Chains A and B, each alone.
Chain A
Amino acid sequence: MLDIGDLSVTLHRGGRPNLVLDRVGLVIGRGEIVAMLGESGSGKSTLALAVMGLLAPESQPIVSGAIAIDGESLVGASPDRWRRMRRERLGVVFQDPIGSLNPTLRIGDQLSEAITDGSSAASWLERVGISEPLSRVRAYPHQLSGGQCQRVMIAMAIAKRPGLIIADEPTTALDVVVQAQILALIRRLAREEGIAVLFVTHDLAVASVLADRVAVMHAGRLVEEGAADKLAARPAHPYTAALLGARFGLTVDRTQQLPTLVTSADSAGAASAGCAFAARCKLATDHCRTVRPPTERAPHGGVVACFRTAESGPALWASASAHWPAAQDSGREILVELAKVEKTYAFARRLLAGKARPARAMAVRALAGVDLRIYRGESLAVVGGSGSGKSTLLRVVAGLLLPDAGDVIRPPENPAQVIFQDARGSLTPWLTIGEQIGERLRPLRLTQSERRAKVEAALEQVGLDPRLGEARAGDLSGGQCQRAALARAIVVPPSLLLCDEAVSALDMTLAAAMLNLIGSLRRRLGMALMFVTHDLAAARVVADRIVVMANGEIVEMGDVETIVAAPAHPATQALLDAMPDRLAQAVA
């Protein structure tokens, strides 16, 4: 169905050429589901765009090699031919479902444009699991939730009966419960209709439950490819093994740090003469650094590009973890206390309402009488699905939001610091990282050089090069932005560190490193931690105590292991069922 051979793509950024894809080859058969796995910057999205003929013209793409869809060769094809190909034989599902639908058209009308066989839009809505399809065809995209919009996108992609669907991280923006449903839907419909799928993802768990085959990209090169189950069981490339090792589920050993397997992706070089992974690989030899490994048959039946395949494997990485630093003992002193806190968001009936809520909703009770105590030095996770009120709770604790009713008692000294989910957005683009970290030192009235030393020390504590103090957010990668935000939070250690979905947007490898960092710093600096997330596995790693929220209320509270082992509330159970460990059952 799809035949990519020796595909190289060079994109220009700021006038400089940048080799993003380096001789990539991939074949997808009819009806086959293939996952393209890689971390951000690996070139996986560029590959998806190249296959769709949608590389941005302003990046002056230079494409060489071969792309053939259904036997039709497309490299160098005219925009008209690409357009016809996309219309007739390609289905596309993007990451941002709400932004991908036309906000001015009813979804029934948009869906009808894609339907070729005369079936009704409502019947397609029913097939993708949208309730009340007959009335929903008249809805506009903003009246649906993100998950529902993604279902509509999937219906549109499949309704024209293409040979191939390209799905670029279609579940990354959704919460875990919805993600499991969407994955199951894609798999079922692709099977029913015999459609091939190229599924781009950074999540190995998602890739292995959804796909027949998995292809692993690193720094623009395909490093390994094979049947999903075999590849996950016995990865042949050290990078795949590293990804596998970095995956933390509900059973990972939380008494020590998560295994950190590779250095950050920032050191990987696509243009390197040898293996692009050599700079990050613990097995690398001089041979690896100078000669590019050829693609060869792997023990699992697929292919791999590595000289050290024999030594690779999950066992190598299992011992890579370190112990947590000793925590400071701080007794049971109450740090923050919330009593019967309520917060209601009222909506005027705006013409273009925000995401995920029906237009008629006039008020949403985000917090419905919440009582909570946070003790000095403790580590608390607040877990819940989207709309559970967990982020509102964090904003109230941080003092960013005033509650409508109830009491909040906060410590008088050092206000809480917040790590936001959107790390790049939490850094002011026109100021340097050092200037922003320095703001927290202003009350200390330090000299220029003292302040500089403190800023550099904070950057080093979070594992960043101190020279990045001179950089601005735009110069940094997503992972570096998150660390810079953390450096700002801890340069003067607060009594309470608040994390709002701080690792949800990160790749597994980066997320593991970030969790280790947060866990170590809070112990070393004696900070209490409130970690807000929808991810129970991440919560379990960093927190001792868990609070589960649903519909603005605390529905369950207790020791982390107890709750994970025996959830008492259906909301907790739903979050557990959506975890990657159990995703396979949910999708099957």
Chain B
Amino acid sequence: MPRLEAAAVCMLFVITLVAFAAPWLAPADPVVKIGEPYQPPSLSYLFGTDEIGRDMLARMIYGVRLTWLPSLVIIAAGVVIGTIVGGLGALAGGVIDLLLTRLTELFIVIPSTMIALAAVAAIGPGIWHTVATMSVFWWPWYARIVRSEVKVVASRPHAEAARLSGVSGPRLVIRYLLPAALPSVLVTATLDVANVILVLSLFSFLGLGAPAPTPELGAMTARSLASLTTHWWIPILPAVAIFILVVTANLAGDGLRALMKAV
């Protein structure tokens, strides 16, 4: 694996670690005023304070937690549901395949973000409500990828040879068919991180995701855009954090792909 990609994979671990350990790492409570508002970054407040006087560093650390973990959950849910739907369709064929393909296409054409917004509004705002609702809509592309990859590999000689060897059922699927879809799914997932983070911040911006005082990175940038010219660190620092998350995820995806090729 090239050095840059290897670094990105390590970075991803660090980010995930930070996300889990936020309560212990943060220097202050992220939602409580700890000093004067609009303090620029200094030795006492490394990332400065925001418009109310809350510590930006603490808010950023919690922000990583509240942005990164939900993104992981949504993508994981998308991969799992997509793999089940796509894999089932490819293997069953016939009417089941047709129905599942149409279902997938239905979920692709409906304005899923709008419906998700309505659904979250109905069941009440909250980050985990958003995560649950988005997971319901996030799988169709994965289903498509898995279905086409499994269909191709199932007709290849090595899958036929496996069947002639007496391999069937779940063992055939898990050991011989699904691994063929892994590289494409992984690449799609890493590129997807950016999308998920953007949609999540949209929810927060509209007040449906993390409610107002909660430090979610997208919401922090969105709410403080007005102070960009006067107090740059309040919108810019969370934006930079999002940028780093997305780039790291993409590079790590490249690294994992190279690693799988080498095996």
Contacts and interface: CB of A to CB of B under 8 A. Distances in A.
Contact of A428 (B158, B164, B166): B158
B223 interface: no
B263 A439 contact: no
B164 A418 contact: yes
A577 interface: no
A418 B161 contact: yes
B165 A428 contact: no
B161 A485 contact: yes
Interface in B175-219: 175-176, 179
Contacts of B159: 428
Nearest to A494: B164
B156 interface: yes
Contacts of A420: 157, 160-161
A440 B176 contact: no
Given A416-B164, A418-B164, A440-B166, A431 B175 contact: yes
Contact of A440 (B157, B165, B263): B165
B166 A425 contact: no
A341 to B, nearest CB: 19
Nearest to A442: B166
B173 to A, nearest CB: 13
Contact of A426 (B161, B175, B179, B263): B161
Nearest to A395: B160
Contact of B164 (A398, A427, A443): A398
B161 A430 contact: no
B259 to A, nearest CB: 12
A436 B161 CA distance: 9
B88 interface: no
Contact of B166 (A427, A431, A439): A439
Interface size grouping (class) on chain A: 20 to 34
B17 interface: no
A520 B156 CA distance: 29
B157 A422 contact: yes
Contact of A429 (B158, B161, B162, B165): B158
A425 B156 contact: yes
A442 B166 CA distance: 8
A484 to B, nearest CB: 11
B167 interface: yes
A415 interface: yes
Contacts of A415: 164, 166
Interface string A427-468: 111110000100110110000000000000000000000000
Interface of B: 156-167, 175-176, 179, 263
9 residue pairs, one from A and one from B, having the closest CB atoms: A426-B157, A439-B165, A428-B158, A420-B157, A425-B157, A426-B161, A440-B165, A430-B179, A439-B167
Given A426-B161, A428-B175, A431-B176, 17 more contacts: A400-B163, A416-B164, A418-B160, A422-B157, A425-B156, A425-B158, A426-B157, A426-B158, A426-B160, A427-B161, A428-B159, A430-B179, A431-B175, A440-B165, A440-B166, A472-B263, A485-B161
25 contacts: A400-B164, A415-B164, A415-B166, A417-B164, A418-B160, A418-B161, A418-B164, A425-B156, A425-B157, A426-B157, A426-B158, A426-B160, A427-B158, A427-B161, A428-B161, A428-B175, A430-B263, A431-B176, A436-B162, A436-B165, A440-B165, A440-B166, A442-B166, A472-B263, A488-B165
